[in-house]
Amino acid sequence: MGIIAAVADQDAFAQRCGSEQGVGASAQVLPDALQALEEAVLSCDADVAVEACSSIQQVLGGSDDYTRKILLVRWYMQLASACSLQYSSPPRTGTT
């Protein structure tokens, strides 16, 4: 859950990525981090993706950072929708 916690605290994530410019640089890091996390989750098997989404939801639910929470919740909803579309079973056609 390391990357999830890092995304929840974008300043710590920016520091871990070697940024020395503080909040301004971390604001640019967050979208890239979210995109990387989304790609990682979507590249996993369905069970792992569901577990990752559950972990992300728990971290977001416990976050007191209401400034970033709006963006993160919106991103999470898009991720959950993408997971749902990717891992839903294809419709059955004409088989008996």
19 part of a folded domain:
yes
pLDDT digits (tens, 9 = 90+) for 35-93: 999 999 999 999 999 999 999 999 999 999 988 999 999 999 999 999 999 988 665 56
Query: Does residue 70 fall inside a structural domain?
Result: yes
Q: Which domain holds residue 30?
A: 2-87
| Torsion sign (Cα): 33, 35, 40, 42 | positive
* pLDDT tier at 1, thresholds 50, 70, 90: very low
Q: What's the DSSP call for residue 43?
A: T
- Distance (Å, whole) CA 11 – CA 46: 31
Structural domains of the chain, count: 1
**Residue 28 within a domain:** yes
pLDDT digits (tens, 9 = 90+) for 33-51: 999 999 999 999 999 999 9
Q: Distance (Å, rounded) from C-alpha 35 to C-alpha 33?
A: 5
Q: Is residue 66 part of a domain?
A: yes
**Structural domain contains residue 93:** no
Domain presence at residue 92: no
Domain membership flag for residue 76: yes
In terms of Cα–Cα distance, which of 24, 29, 22 is closest to 7? 29
